[in-house]
Structure 1
Amino acid sequence: MSRTTVTTPRAPAAIGPYSQAILTDDTLYCSGQIAIDPDTGHMVNGSVEEETRRVLDNVGAVLQGASMTYENVVQCTVFLTDVNDYAQVNEVYGRYFNETPPARQAVQVAALPRSARVEISCIAVR
């Protein structure tokens, strides 16, 4: 099995001891992304929809770093600090995964890093 670290400056740098993604053979395991603007290093301040767009843009940048797209994603995990935001997050999410949506679970958590409201991780396959 080959194992390659995927890193891109178009997504936020890791804020702990982890990689943006790990590619093993044809499978990419993407760490959770929150709404950090990669240019400023600051969290996006705005609606949960704006936060979700930034999160998914960050996910897309990591996918591109591995020469993949949203179409390669087979599974996502969505973490929400408030399940009442589910409909708004789902609406934005659907714009990114509109052709063949991946398998997904969404869970409410007590807190996320940097007071984020949304975090999304994924697995993609070539």
Structure 2
Amino acid sequence: MTRRAYTTTEAPDPRGNYSQVVSAGNLVVTAGFGPVDPRTRAIVGDEIGEQTRQTLRNVAAALAAANCDMRDVVKVTAHLANADRDWAGFDEVFPEFFDQPYPVRTTAGSELGDILVEIDVIAVRPED
């Protein structure tokens, strides 16, 4: 199975030694993205809904670089800086980006520094 990394200027550049998105066969995995504007590198928004939207826009851009979209996502892993306070606002945004049947999801509380949310996904690229 061949692994291939993809990059796009439509999602934030990695801040370390990792790829934005990698495929292995039809499996596509993104790095964790936060609510960072890919052009300015500024954090977008100060509440969970705004930050979740920007984060999911970044995820969608990374998937597009690998010829996928949000309909191809089967697994979402999300980290919230304040899970008790922000879970409902975070969850409310999902139908804007995902259709039913929704992908499976794990959501955990995590130390995220200056951001409220970080998300990575696993997608299955459609057969050509």
Compute the TM-score of the two structures, normalised by the length of structure 1: 0.94
**Gap runs ≥5 in structure 2:** none
CA drift at 1:53: 0.4
Deviations 1:56-95 (A, max 9, x none): 0000000100111101000000100101200000001222
Aligned residues: 124
1:44 and 2:44 are equivalent in the alignment: yes
RMSD: 1.0
Contact 2:33–2:58 (Cα < 8 Å) also in 1 = yes
Partner of 1:96: 97
1:18 matched to which residue of 2? 18
Q: Which amino acid letter does the alignment assign opposite residue 75 of structure 2?
A: Q
Q: 1:58 is matched with which residue? A: 58
**What CA distance in whole angstroms lies between the structure 1 residues aligned with 2:75 and 2:45?**
27
Contact 1:77 1:106 in 2 (8 A): yes
> TM-score, normalising length from structure 2?
0.93
Structure 1 unaligned spans of 5+:
none
Residue type of the alignment partner of 1:108: G
**Alignment of structure 1 residues 73-92 onto 2, 5 Å:** 73-83=73-83, 84-92=85-93
Contact 1:71 1:100 in 2 (8 A): no
Structure 1 equivalent of residue 121 of structure 2: 122
Structure 2 contact 71–99 (Cα < 8 Å) conserved:
no
